[in-house]
Amino acid sequence: MDKSAIITLTNDKNKVIAEFMVKKLTIATNARRLSMTSRIIDLDLDDAEKGQLLTCAALAATVYNVDGTILYPDKDGADNLYNEMDIEVYEALCKAYVELNPLEPTLTAKKKKS
């Protein structure tokens, strides 16, 4: 099971313009994501903007520099990502996030008969 993916973004001339690492959610990163989302849910915003901020919270908890340094370490990571990140970069990272962290569980537990 992959725990992370390096995302390399190139321009139309095939020049590397940015590289990121997207990590699989762990208990710790999920707790960090949930702490950001609880604040977002209470904001007086329309559903579309809240949805974008909730996705930003998921990315802020799991997007790192390729050296392993988290890009948005503070509690306002979702807001910072929302206000700073280019939409094309955001969309590429969202695709990587969903591949590493599928919405539907991929593991099942089976009980052994005694």
CATH class of 4-100: alpha beta
pLDDT digits (tens, 9 = 90+) for 24-78: 989 998 899 999 998 899 889 999 999 999 999 999 999 999 999 999 988 889 9
Question: Could you tell me which residues come within 8 angstroms of residue 74 by beta carbon, excluding any fewer than 6 positions away?
Answer: 80
- pLDDT number for residue 2: 66
